[in-house]
Amino acid sequence: MPDWLTQLLGDDLSFGLSYITNGKHLAWYASFRFTIIAALAGALFALFFGLGGAALRQSRFAVLRSIGALYCNIVRGVPDVLFFLFFPLAFEQSVEWLMSTQACSAADLAANTGTWPPCTEANWFLGTSEYLALACVSLGIVYGAFTANVIHGAMQAVPKGQLEAARAFGMHPIQLLWRVHIRQMWIYALPGLSNVWMLLLKATSLLSLLQIADIVLWADRLGAPNYLKQVGLVHPDWRWRYYLVLFLFYILVTYLSERGFAVLRRKLGHGMIRVEG
């Protein structure tokens, strides 16, 4: 830190400033990227799964309809923490099982029936990026079910006359779906989608469950009391201060999202009949 800044701030403040900009804290700030990536990528996946789920529920075929309904109802009912733990583990072990059928020798398979994976070649090492990708997909699947429900409802809300008019023009069902139905659905879906986005945002605090060194894990580490001089600054339990920063972060993101959705609502509402106040 430059001398003039130290003089300007005084010893206490400049010590505080240099403490919250040390490597450990920089690593914490950098870990916000995991949360942001998980929220954005998770939302993209959720939209994708949501559109898919809604399309299945609209389908003409009873089998597809029931698959869509099953997805919406079952996944919405499973606690997100549980799914968050279940899906990455199940996925990892399925991949390892597939690898073991190729890579492991028959002798290895016979010798290691009780251990997993049966041979080291079939071990799939999951680092932070792999876990992050799996976390995004898990978020996508869980909140995709909510999104599917919202979109399904919104599609029902599009005035039937609009669809009949499109049909009367001789539009193909795909054209009708894409150009009329989905186009007009957004304005009805938006309030529900903003809700799902908020839920998804909150669920991003679960990343540390998957061994990702995310903002919550770092807040825990940094705030834990330290009594050892050789470890660094000796301080009592400071966890609440770090949690408070996380509160503020989430509140800020909530505020920005609200603003974003207000803009979207105005844009999508152009030329539409006003649906709600």
Partner 1 sequence: MKKIILAVAIAAALTGTASAQTVRLGTEGAYAPWNFIDDSGNVAGFEIDLGNELCARAELTCEFIINEWDTIIPNLVGGNYDAIIAGMSITDERKQTIDFTQDYYPPDPSLFAMAGDADIDFSNLSGIKIGVQGATIQAAYVEENFGANNTVLSYETADQSIADLSAGNVDVVLADGGYLSPIVEGSNGALKLDGPSIMIGGGVGLGLRKEDDELEAKLNAAIDAVKADGTLDGLIAKWFEVGPFYSN
**Residue 113 near partner 1 by CB under 8 A:** no
Label residue 232 left, alpha or beta by phi (over 0 means left) and psi (-120 to 50 means alpha).
left
Report how far residue 219's alpha carbon sits from residue 221's, in angstroms, rounded to the nearest whole number.
6
Of 101, 50, 45, 52, the residue nearest 76 (C-alpha): 50
**Residue 114 near partner 1 by CB under 8 A:** no
Is the CB of 143 or the CB of 242 nearer to partner 1?
A: 242
Which of 62, 107, 115, 170 binds partner 1 (CB under 8 A)? It is 115
Q: Which stretch binds partner 1 (CB under 8 A): 40-48, 111-119, 137-145, 176-184?
A: 111-119
The least distance separating partner 1 from the CB of residue 220, rounded to whole angstroms, comes to 7
Residue 90: count other Cβ atoms within 10 Å of its Cβ.
Answer: 10
Question: Which one-letter amino acid corresponds to residue 117?
Answer: P
List the interface residues with partner 1, window 9-38 (CB under 8 A): 22-24, 26-27
Is the CB of 59 or the CB of 93 nearer to partner 1?
A: 93
* 232: helix, strand or coil: coil
The contacts of residue 171 (CB under 8 Å, 6+ apart) are 179, 180
Q: Are 183 and 267 in contact (CB under 8 A)?
A: no
**Residue 40 near partner 1 by CB under 8 A:** no
The least distance separating partner 1 from the CB of residue 115, rounded to whole angstroms, comes to 7
Of 224, 263, 217, the residue nearest 241 (C-alpha): 224
Q: Which stretch binds partner 1 (CB under 8 A): 58-66, 81-89, 115-123, 248-256?
A: 115-123
Residue 34: count other Cβ atoms within 10 Å of its Cβ.
Answer: 22
**Residue 107 near partner 1 by CB under 8 A:** no
Is the CB of 13 or the CB of 233 nearer to partner 1?
A: 233
Is the CB of 80 or the CB of 92 nearer to partner 1?
A: 92
Cα of first residue to Cα of last residue in the chain, in angstroms, is 53
List the interface residues with partner 1, window 199-238 (CB under 8 A): 211, 220-221, 223-234, 236-237
Size of the site for partner 1 (CB under 8 A): 29
Q: Are 144 and 53 in contact (CB under 8 A)?
A: yes
Is the CB of 18 or the CB of 156 nearer to partner 1?
A: 18
- Structure tokens given for 227: 């009594």
Q: Are 86 and 210 in contact (CB under 8 A)?
A: no
Is the CB of 68 or the CB of 117 nearer to partner 1?
A: 117
Report how far residue 238's alpha carbon sits from residue 260's, in angstroms, rounded to the nearest whole number.
34
**Residue 89 near partner 1 by CB under 8 A:** no
**Residue 77 near partner 1 by CB under 8 A:** no
**Residue 170 near partner 1 by CB under 8 A:** no
Residues that bind partner 1 in the complex, under the rule CB under 8 A: 22-24, 26-27, 115-117, 120, 123, 125, 211, 220-221, 223-234, 236-237, 239
